[in-house]
Amino acid sequence: MTKIERWEQRSEIPLLLLALAFLVAYAWQVLDPRLNGGLLDFLELISWAVWAVFLVDFLVRLYLAEQRGRYALSHWYDVALIVLIVLRPLRLLRVLAFARVLNRSASRSLIGRVTTYVAGTAVGAVFLGALAILDVEQFDPEANIRSFGDALWWATTTVTTVGYGDRYPVTTEGRFVAVGLMLVGLAVVGVVTASIAAWLIANVQQDQSAPNEQ
């Protein structure tokens, strides 16, 4: 086990708990925009504190890497999550930090359990996508996504590639969220289709091999 792998194993649970705290703080601000100033400042403090921990985590991993330049290039998504979310208009990218930590944990603990992993990804994408789209759309005067129910409906139809078109983003940031959710939906549908095909092929091969064994 390398030094980076040991560090990730030790920091995985604390980072996951911090990511959950961040998600609660982020969701609270989006779902209840009438928060008083003191509570809003406290939730913002939690959000930035978690971001700072993610920054420290990446710097530690970069320090432990044998080839730091190559490690940074191969983990460009970590760099992007750390750098881009400093800009206020890109605050919705903070949601991806939660997904990033979950993915690091799930990639080891859910190997071979494709159905569970895909279902978790789909549910997580719908919930996080709904939060992100509501965050950037709800105050636009031309928006038609103004409640969490609207956002959930839009995210569900987008991930499942149904796309009724009754709810849609009108802001530039919202359209970026939509593109990301569309890509997730295509990936989820592709994995489900491939899993079903693999299961059918395995059953056919098993049925064909049964007479030969007899």
CATH number (domain holding residue 183): 1.10.287.70
Residue 100 is predicted with a pLDDT of 62
Residue 67 and residue 125 share a domain: no
Residue 95 is predicted with a pLDDT of 61
DSSP string, 148-190: HHHHHHHHHHHHTT---SSS---SHHHHHHHHHHHHHHHHHHH
The answer on pLDDT for 15 being more than 90 is no
Residue 37 is predicted with a pLDDT of 77
The answer on pLDDT for 38 being more than 60 is yes
The answer on pLDDT for 154 being more than 90 is yes
* Whole-angstrom distance, CA of residue 136 vs CA of residue 144: 12
Q: Is residue 26 part of a domain?
A: yes
* Whole-angstrom distance, CA of residue 124 vs CA of residue 89: 23
* Whole-angstrom distance, CA of residue 194 vs CA of residue 206: 18
Domain end among 44, 66, 93: 93
> Among 35-49, 106-120, 160-174, where is mean pLDDT lowest?
106-120
Residue 134 and residue 48 share a domain: no
The count of structural domains within the chain is: 2
Residue 116 and residue 197 share a domain: yes
Phi (first) and psi of residue 110, to 5 degrees: -115, 20
- How does residue 85 score in pLDDT terms, banded at 50, 70 and 90? low
Residue 63 and residue 9 share a domain: yes
The answer on pLDDT for 150 being more than 90 is yes
Residue 86 is predicted with a pLDDT of 54
Q: Which two tokens stand for residue 105?
A: 């944990």
The answer on pLDDT for 25 being more than 90 is no
DSSP code for 198: H
Residue 28 is predicted with a pLDDT of 84
Residue 64 and residue 8 share a domain: yes
Parent domain of 63: 1-93
Question: Could you tell me if 3 and 61 are in contact, meaning their C-beta atoms sit under 8 angstroms apart?
Answer: no
Residue 170 is predicted with a pLDDT of 92
Residue 180 and residue 114 share a domain: yes
> Among 32-41, 80-89, 126-135, 187-196, where is mean pLDDT lowest?
80-89
